[in-house]
Structure 1
Amino acid sequence: MTGPDPLQINTRIRENAQSLASALEQHMLKSFAPDARKQLRLFSAGEAAQLLGISPSFLRKLHFEDRVADVHTSPGGRRHYSVADMNAIRTVLEGTAKTQGSYLSGRRPGDKVQVLSFLNFKGGSGKTTSAIHAAQRLALKGYRVLAVDIDPQASMTTLFGYQPEFDFLHSGSIYDAIRYQDPLPFSQIIQKTYFTGLDLAPGGLYLQEFEHETPQALRHNVQPPFYARMAAALQEVEADYDVIIFDCPPQLGYLTMAALCASTGVLITIVPNMLDVASMSQFLQMSADLLDVVSNAGAQLELDFLRFLINRYEPSDGPQQQVVAFLRQLFGAEVMVAPMLKSTAISDAGLTQQTVYEVERNAFHRNTYDRAVDSLNAVNDEIEMLIQQAWGR
Structure 2
Amino acid sequence: MSPVLPPVTLDELGILSRRASTVIERLRERVFSPGNEKRLDLIYNVRTAAEMVGRSEKAIRDAEADGRLPEPEKDETTGRRNGYTLGEINRMREVFGTQPHRKPEDPPLVLAVQNFKGGVGKSTTVVHLAQYFALKGYRVCVIDCDSQASTTSVFGLNPDIDIDEDEDTLYPFLQHGGPKTLHYALRATYWPGIALIPANLGLYDAEYEFAARMAREPAFILDRLRDGVASIADQFDIVLLDPPPALGMISLSVMRAANALLIPAPPNNIDFASTAHFLKMMEATLSELARHGGEREYSFIRILTSKMNDQKSAHQAIKRMMDAVFPQDMLGAVLKDSAEIDNATANLMTVYEMTGPAARTETHRRCRAYLDAVGREVELLARKTWPSHHHNLRKEGLL
TM-score by length of 2: 0.87
Deviation at 1:253, TM superposition (A): 1.2
1:46-93 C-alpha deviation (Å, 9 max, x unpaired) = 543443345667656765776633234445414421122111111222
Q: Which residue does 2:102 correspond to in 1? A: 107
Q: Which residue does 1:118 correspond to in 2? A: 113
Amino acid at match of 1:182: G
Contact 2:260 2:300 in 1 (8 A): yes
For the residues of structure 1 that align with 2:322 and 2:56, how far apart are their CA atoms? 38
For the residues of structure 2 that align with 1:192 and 1:257, how far apart are their CA atoms? 27
Amino acid at match of 1:187: H
Matches within 5 A, 1:146-225: 146-168=141-163, 170-171=165-166, 172-180=168-176, 182-183=178-179, 185-221=181-217, 224-225=219-220
Contact 2:171 2:203 in 1 (8 A): yes
Amino acid at match of 2:229: L
The alignment status of 1:356 with 2:335, answered yes or no, reads no
1:109-166 C-alpha deviation (Å, 9 max, x unpaired) = 3101110000112211111011111111111111111000001101000001111122
Change (3 A) 1:149 1:8: same
Choose 325-334 or 57-66, whichever is displaced more: 57-66
Choose 186-195 or 8-17, whichever is displaced more: 8-17
For the residues of structure 2 that align with 1:183 and 1:10, how far apart are their CA atoms? 38
Q: Which residue does 1:39 correspond to in 2? A: 39
Change (3 A) 1:264 1:219: closer
- Aligned CA RMSD, in angstroms, stands at 2.3
Change (3 A) 1:7 1:229: closer
1:150-198 C-alpha deviation (Å, 9 max, x unpaired) = 0110100000111112222543112222234534631111111111110
Match for 1:249 among 214, 226, 244? 244
The alignment status of 1:261 with 2:262, answered yes or no, reads no
Q: Which residue does 2:87 correspond to in 1? A: 84
Contact 1:21 1:165 in 2 (8 A): no
Matches within 5 A, 1:1-393: 8-30=11-33, 33-34=34-35, 36-45=36-45, 46-54=47-55, 68-74=69-75, 75-76=77-78, 77-94=80-97, 103-168=98-163, 170-171=165-166, 172-180=168-176, 182-183=178-179, 185-221=181-217, 224-364=219-359, 366-392=361-387, 393=390
Q: Which residue does 1:100 correspond to in 2? A: none
For the residues of structure 1 that align with 2:366 and 2:81, how far apart are their CA atoms? 25
- SS of the counterpart of 1:117? strand
Amino acid at match of 2:18: E
- SS of the counterpart of 1:335? coil
For the residues of structure 2 that align with 1:173 and 1:6, how far apart are their CA atoms? 34
Amino acid at match of 1:148: I
Amino acid at match of 1:43: I
Amino acid at match of 1:9: E
Structure 1 unaligned spans of 5+:
95-102
1:331-374 C-alpha deviation (Å, 9 max, x unpaired) = 11310111112211111112221111111152255101111111
- SS of the counterpart of 1:297? helix
1:198-249 C-alpha deviation (Å, 9 max, x unpaired) = 0000111122112101122123327x42210111112221111111001111
Choose 76-85 or 208-217, whichever is displaced more: 76-85
Change (3 A) 1:143 1:58: same
For the residues of structure 2 that align with 1:332 and 1:104, how far apart are their CA atoms? 33
Q: Which residue does 2:4 correspond to in 1? A: none
Choose 333-342 or 168-177, whichever is displaced more: 168-177
Q: How many residues of Structure 1 are paired with residues of Structure 2 in the alignment?
A: 377
For the residues of structure 1 that align with 2:289 and 2:383, how far apart are their CA atoms? 29
Change (3 A) 1:345 1:59: farther
Change (3 A) 1:81 1:255: same
Change (3 A) 1:301 1:184: same
For the residues of structure 2 that align with 1:311 and 1:60, how far apart are their CA atoms? 42
Choose 301-310 or 349-358, whichever is displaced more: 349-358
Percent same amino acid at aligned positions? Answer: 28
Change (3 A) 1:65 1:347: farther
For the residues of structure 2 that align with 1:55 and 1:319, how far apart are their CA atoms? 47
TM-score by length of 1: 0.89
For the residues of structure 2 that align with 1:6 and 1:225, how far apart are their CA atoms? 40
Change (3 A) 1:317 1:70: farther
Structure 2 unaligned spans of 5+:
1-7, 391-399
